[in-house]
Structure 1
């Protein structure tokens, strides 16, 4: 009655928002010693790059707008760094849905409530248009790779990181070799799918985290630049409008978290389903 209902965020960050709201009203949250719940291992999930990546970013922005008063510079830097890493790892579907996440956040709280039911199907449809999101039964369904998979140790010194990064950027600027979209260069497990390896290939299969198959990541320079341009435009909009969005979301919080709002949404869904 005092805190209101959870926000319409579907998954990701709704629990964090409720805890922050509780703290702002003087209710502390604690960890109970000796208790636990079962949860699948994070290493068995691709939630940083699959459909959940949309909700991670969009809802992070919503919660930050509601509860965070610091400058946005750090958040922008973190988001742009993640975008560059995803592009260098040939995770184009992730960048596409994160661009949508930025746009949906900037469209405002009423928009997010209006897409409560449609957001997930739309995100899944968007992802299906990119090879890195299409799960194949296994690497054996494709021709044998042209290269040999070796263990690649991550660069740790600044010169080594700079060298790998520069070499990867130069490779990304070159036209991709289409033959590697027919026959992969490497087959690698998910734990080895790191930027310093993937930024130098044009086609590679990567095992999904849950082991149910592989995805065939294919470098596409034109697609990469198109996604990057869209991302930069959205980040510029975010930088310009973020302070205003803080006020918009905070002003809308009482209505968004009201019982009446949730009743209206749920009743409309029941009516729509007949």
Structure 2
């Protein structure tokens, strides 16, 4: 289980994340919503330790990862995969080599500088691409792919790390609706098939309601809602987005008791 206990982050006089506490279980798909500047990205960056919390604790399976240093910290960053809005692929390299970048830190420096990877790593990279319906493009240059295809390659690269936790920071913000659907379905599949918690920051409320079993809403750095999508009432959304936001909310189908 991933746990945050009273996590706070300040930038000068600005409180970016304000005393956030939450827990995410394996196999849980969690959407994090809120206006720009609400603290969503900072929250994910602290979990991955790309940003340091000023207060509070971050734990994975009861181990305090917010205190890790050196090799232990590097191992955590590999086990806590981060997927960004910007794909960060090398356009001149082929797709499979871009995926193999996910294991560079675990391999001898010399061979990887010349793009020489063990056959087992290459086989795993192709399998990760195949799981995302991208194996056919393994030898194409990454720069020839569409945005949605590049994001799937970035996801395959993250999955090659065999992560315990998957964090996705606005992974579909720059994609058209069709490619956004493909990417969100891929993240949903990873969550369920690999039994890992997936936390995904989203600007689109409808995408969060469609693909996530749980939604966390943030406003001014604080969590103002944490629950199933059906609980996102107009009153909650007005608190998150502004006084008019709740007026356009379409009701979700009622969930029948088992």
* Range of TM-score over shorter length: under 0.3
The structure that is strand-richer by fraction is: 2
**Which structure's CA Rg is the greater one?**
1
TM-score, length basis structure 1 = 0.22
TM-score, length basis structure 2 = 0.23
